Amino acid sequence: MTSEDIKEVIIAIIKDIDEEADFDGLDADKPLRDQLELDSMDFLDIVMELRKRYKLQIPEQDYPQLATLNSCVAYLQPLLQDA
């Protein structure tokens, strides 16, 4: 997957969690949680959806690496290169 694909996947997952999420002006280097008002429960959904869709096992200690859109790309790209 390209980095753009991965961004689209993350945004699609968040849209699925919250239909009303507003992505206008989203800064890819700032935490998703603050910008989209996601709480820790919502955040877990991103991890679980990635597991469900791509069979990715993301250990709890790696959750902080999914903080921003760009850090998601950096962390997921090696894991999803064949996806």
Partner 1 sequence: MRCSLLVIGGGLSGLAAAIRAARFHPDVLLVEKHSRLGGLNSYFYRNDTLFETGLHAITNHAAAGDRKAPLNRLLRQLKLQRGDFSFCQQLGSEIRFLGQASLLFSNDPEVLFAEVRAQFPESWARFQRLLSLVADYDPFTPAPFRSARATLGEVLDNPLLTEMILCPLMYYGSSRADDIDLGQFVIMFRSLFLEGLFRPAGSIKDILEVLAGQLRALGGTIRTNCAVHELLTAGDHVIGAQIGKGERVECDRVISTVGHRETLRLLGRSENAACEPTARLSFVENIFQHQPWPEWQSLPKRTIIFFNRGERFSFHSPQSQGVDFTSGVICFPSHFEGMPGRSLDELRTTHLASYGYWKALAGTPGRYLDEKRQTARKSAQTLADLFGSFPANIVYEDTFTPVTIERYTGKIDGAIYGSPVKFPDGRFGCDNCFLAGTDQGFLGIVGSMLSGVSMVNQHILPRL
| Contact (CB, 8 A) for 79 and 43 | no
| Contact (CB, 8 A) for 35 and 27 | yes
Q: How far is the CB of 75 from partner 1 (least distance, A)?
A: 17
- Here the tokens at position 24 are 């206008």
39 touching partner 1, by CB under 8 A: yes
Q: How far is the CB of 55 from partner 1 (least distance, A)?
A: 12
Stretch that binds partner 1, among 6-14, 25-33, 40-48, 74-82 (CB under 8 A): 40-48
42 touching partner 1, by CB under 8 A: yes
- Contact residues: partner 1, CB under 8 A: 17-18, 20, 37, 39, 41-42, 44-45, 48, 51-52, 60
